[in-house]
Amino acid sequence: MNTSQATATTTNGGDIVASVLRAQGVTHLFTLCGGHISPILVSSKRDGIQIVDVRDEASAVFAADAMARMTGVPGVAAVTAGPGLTNTLTAVENALLANSPLVVIGGATATFLRGRGALQDIDQVSLMQPAVKGCFAIKRVRHIGPMLTKAFALAQEGVPGPVFVELPVDLLYSEAQVRDMVKSELVGGDSLLGKALSLYAEQHLFRVFRGKDDFVPGPRIPADPMDPPDNQVDKAVELLRSAKRPVLVVGAQTLARPREAHAIADAIRALGVPVFLGGGARGLLGRDDALQFRHKRGKALAKADLVIVCGFPFDFRMGYGWKINPSAKIIQVNRDRSVLRKNRLPALPIHADAGRFLQALGRAWGQSITRSWAGWFDTLRANEASRDAEIDAMATEATPFLNPLDLCKRIEEVMADDAIMVVDGGDFVATASYICKPRAPLSWLDPGVFGTLGVGGGFAVGAGAAAPGREIWLFYGDGASAYSLAELDTLARHGMSVIAVIGNDGAWAQIARDQVVLLGDDVGTVLDRTAYHTVAKGYGAKGLLLKRPQDTAQVLRDAKALAAQGHPVVINAWIGASDFRKGSISI
């Protein structure tokens, strides 16, 4: 269908979409334009929703993902049909595994032309079903409002995740415009075929538009609380009261209700238990809380007699639970019932929101007799100090160009107190995660369990939209940067100032290190030390080259100054090889 015939708008399906987004608290719509979705963009802009147009559809979904994690409102991405939608699949699967509530709106071929060989007409629902919580294939204008509202509910209930909504193009334009478009496709005039086609078209359009003005947006749908049962909280108190070496592990799902982050942090402090924060929960207790430990989690779990795992499955990041002290009691709290008994059976499985559980446990523990775990804390602090000393020593080692550990230590010293950290890459990024400390809740954005490369540009765009004015640091591996470096253009056009540090060692270092040792060949892992700072300038950003350690302080000052002026900045940091993460490959 040729949408170029569309003229001045009247009320249309795009207006209905915009009304639902506004009612559900959506402030930003992330997109890459396409004729199939144009009415959604125009109507949403008119209704005060900011349209953030990116350079790759995957980045639109990554940006919506970041927005959801930071605000608690489901992120929304709208993409055009066919390849526009297929380009989002990695980002959608990443959101599913990261438990991020999203609504992905995909344009589609007009209902009148489905299955007739129209442009970009594929079975989009079958393609998306494995990567989402649910699909809504809308076929009538009157269904847009109710089904899109249901999509927001589904995205937030139980285990949060992405939902796909397919909206054919003829549902989005006005009835008069669609009738003109359909007529342009018909031939035959007064012939029998022409009359039959006209009758079929008339009946079809009647069904499509009947009741189109009946929808009234409802109230905003809140996130599913999933409060824990009181008796299970009481059992957890009893287990904690008898523990001598407790450990609390907090994962990203604990912040499924981001607005409760500070209440969750207060509850953890009330418990007084040693805590390890993982993934998106990093930063929950601020930069240097005395309860928080960052190193040698595995060693602590091997000695603990009680392990409370909140919003974190026993997957590869947790050694599948197999390395936890075999005689330890385990409390596992998760919104996903299937996670509760995967790999390692807990003594107390709790099917609930982990953040709500911690708040309830904190209240109940406040009425209990507080235990002292001073000796256990001393052991964990010794572990922490030992690892910090190793990092400090390795940061002083001479390397060609920049020592990556020293560079990260310098960045840690200059990051603002409210800085947001976005990470996208392997070796350099993982090094930074040991050294650079998130400052506050909701200030750390990583891909999550899928380990996806390419999240950086979209996450940075989403962070810039969710927290305008805050300092944002994007840590890129040089390999990973190529996936989304074009989003510097998006950041520049939308006035988002991000400092992107590319750890440039001319290699896929995380893979190369073990591949060379195990297989004796670096094939496929070698890159050039590309002039990423020059590329940045071509996209409208500022580019800085850093090759000498003695220039680090000045380059970081320059980057912060440029970002403060509203510019996205790339620091092309030439780093040398390091054995800091030797043997760290995950497969």
Give CA separation, 170 vs 112, 122, 148, 167, in Å.
8, 16, 17, 8
DSSP-assigned states of every residue in 40-51: HHHHHHHTTPEE
Rounded Cα distance between 60 and 57, Å, is: 5
Which residue is associated with the tokens 């018909």? 186
Buried b (16+ CB within 10 A) or exposed e, 100-114: bbbbbbbbbbbbbbe
Q: What is the CA radius of gyration of the chain?
A: 26
The pLDDT, as a whole number, for residue 296 is 95
Write down the pLDDT at residue 9: 40
Cα–Cα distance, 476 to 149 (Å, whole number): 37
- Per-run averaged pLDDT (10 residues), the chain, 587 residues: 41 94 98 95 97 98 98 97 97 98 95 80 93 96 95 97 96 87 69 74 82 86 93 96 97 96 97 96 95 95 98 92 96 96 95 98 79 91 95 93 97 97 94 95 95 97 97 97 97 97 94 90 95 98 98 98 97 90 62
Q: Which residues pair with 276 in a beta bridge?
A: 249, 293
SS (H, E, C) 146-192: HHHHHHHHHHHCCCCCEEEEEEEHHHCCCHHHHHHHHHHHCCCCCCH
> 320: number of CA atoms within 13 Å, CB side?
3
Please, what are the domains in the chain? 3-209 (3.40.50.970), 230-381 (3.40.50.1220), 396-574 (3.40.50.970)
Token pair 């270092």: residue: 509
HSE toward the beta carbon, residue 379, CA cutoff 13 A: 16
pTM: 0.94
The pLDDT assigned to 331 comes to: 98
pLDDT for res 372: 80
Angstrom distance (rounded) from CA 321 to CA 580: 25
pLDDT of residue 5: 39
6: helix, strand or coil: coil
Identify the pLDDT of residue 201: 76
| pLDDT of res. 7 | 37
Structural contact between residues 453 and 509, judged by C-beta atoms closer than 8 angstroms: no
**Size of the chain in residues:** 587
CA dist 74 to 104, 136, 143, 275, 568, Å? Answer: 10, 16, 20, 28, 26
Position 77 scores a pLDDT of 98
Q: For tokens 């160009």, what's the residue? A: 401
